[in-house]
Amino acid sequence: MVGIFSLVTGWPGPSGFGSSSTAEQVTQGIDGTNLTAIITGGASGIGLETSRVLALRGVHVIIGVRNVKAANEAKKTILTEIETARVDVLELDLCSIRSIRAFADNFIALNLHLNILINNAGIMFCPFQLSQDGIEVQFATNHIGHFLLTELLLDKMKNTVKTTGIQGRIVNLSSIAHTHCYKNGIRFDHINAKDGYNDKRAYGQSKLANILHANELSRRLQEEGVNVTVNSVHPGLIMTPLFRHSAVLMRGGDDLLRGPPPTAEGSHREILCRLQ
């Protein structure tokens, strides 16, 4: 009950911050001028605010996004507010292994450090479909895409830590929806099976994978003695484009995870599946 009370009221926790704290408040006083961060899906919602505030603190922000036009508009918005912001856009489609590899190659070719990787982009509650690589699309985008991206950039981050002495950070945006998964957790033998597919449980499955990825990668890096922290985070119920298009999603709690969509083929579901 204390957790729910704090969440609703914004009452601060041991850190001094609570659910009502803004990103600007949390980062107040931080100088990020020597840092470079990659943020997937950094052109809208949580990703855009993360990009803006990191840029405000002097971080060189690389936005990885499928919709390059939207990302360039977001970049203009940030530069209008923060004239000294360092923001670049690189194309990244997390549904495509080829695109992920191209993004990693393009970033490495920039010869920049990599201090922070925020695996933020995602899709939600999609009707069953496969990615171009033949993987269930929510699992492909939310987990496989970020898993591969992290693996391709890990040596760059390790080298950055060695060169600069600055701790690296990897953050996976997960969700409390990981608790609403399939009965036996991740359906490893049936990831791409249409039979028994449930859009919400498939989303929960992908979010559980985000957490397991972060936990195992953190363990391995600690064993290696690499100064990189890896965490998964539930961002809370936040108004983003994912929620803007569907009133039913704003009910939160059990309704969010268990309630049926208003129609079997509601247009909002197609919108949610295209967002990244």
Considering the entire predicted model, what is its pTM? 0.84
Q: What CA–CA distance (Å, rounded) separates 125 from 138?
A: 8
Give tens-digit pLDDT for 28-43.
Answer: 999 999 999 999 999 9
Whole-Å CA distances, 95 to 17, 102, 140, 190: 35, 13, 6, 18
Q: Enumerate residue ranges in the chain where pLDDT < 50.
A: 1-2, 239-276
Average pLDDT, rounded, for the chain = 85
Whole-Å CA distances, 112 to 55, 116, 120, 153, 172: 16, 12, 21, 12, 22
CB atoms within 10 A of CB 34: 12
Of 103, 107, 197, 203, which one is the catalytic site residue? Answer: 197
Q: List domains and CATH numbers for the chain.
A: 28-274 (3.40.50.720)
Q: What CA–CA distance (Å, rounded) separates 241 from 182?
A: 26
Q: What CA–CA distance (Å, rounded) separates 29 from 8?
A: 27
Give tens-digit pLDDT for 115-170.
Answer: 999 999 999 889 999 999 999 999 999 999 999 999 999 999 999 999 999 999 99
CB atoms within 10 A of CB 269: 19
Judge whether 197 counts as a catalytic residue.
yes
